[in-house]
Amino acid sequence: MAIFNRDGRMIIPLRERNRRAVRANENKVRYIISEAFCPSGCSIIDKEHEINGFPGLRLKFKRDGEEGEFVISAIEGDFEKIVLCGRLFEGVRDDLFCPHCGAEFKKLVNCNCKNDAEMVVIGLTPELNYNDAITFCNVTGCSNGAFIKSGEAIRHVRLAHGF
């Protein structure tokens, strides 16, 4: 197999490069949420509903004519969820609330997937601290739908907008 083409440029087999990237991501250590709180300080960890071996994060959702509850995975980058009641629809934005006290989760920044999409914040301590929190998009199916650390989201927004 040739390493260089006729012009002297190196040939990089993309298929193998993609396989290596997938293997590297599979071996990456993922952040697992063990404590999560609503803006009022209620724990939203749901020990009754595990996803991939870990208790999930329970949320209430509302939109015109529909409300319900679901549990999202506590594993970084995992999009799995369990819908407990109500219906979620791909591409639809929902307002998110604490299933215990009804407090609405706060917005960190807008998401670029839709005009009204928002990255909502879940605190990792009972008193909300944006530097010790996670965030994800409130539009079902958005690529930002699996949580990321809010500090990373803030840095990304600052870099993207030149702050």
pLDDT tens digits, one per residue of 102-143: 999 999 888 889 999 998 999 999 998 888 888 889 999 888
Q: Which two tokens stand for residue 78?
A: 């995992």
CA–CA separation, 90 and 46 (whole Å): 24
Q: Which two tokens stand for residue 105?
A: 């989760």
Question: What is the phi/psi pair of residue 128, to 5°?
Answer: -60, 125
Is 56 in contact with 71 (CB distance < 8 Å)?
yes
Q: Where are the chain's structural domains?
A: 45-161
What lies within 8 Å, CB to CB, of 131 at 6+ separation is 150, 151
Is 67 in contact with 54 (CB distance < 8 Å)?
no
pLDDT digits over 8-65, tens only?
Answer: 665 555 555 445 555 555 555 568 899 999 999 999 999 999 999 999 999 999 999 8
Q: pTM of the predicted model, to two decimals?
A: 0.74
Q: Please, which pLDDT band fits residue 146 given cuts at 50, 70 and 90?
A: low
Q: What is the largest CA-CA distance in the chain?
A: 68
CA–CA separation, 152 and 157 (whole Å): 9
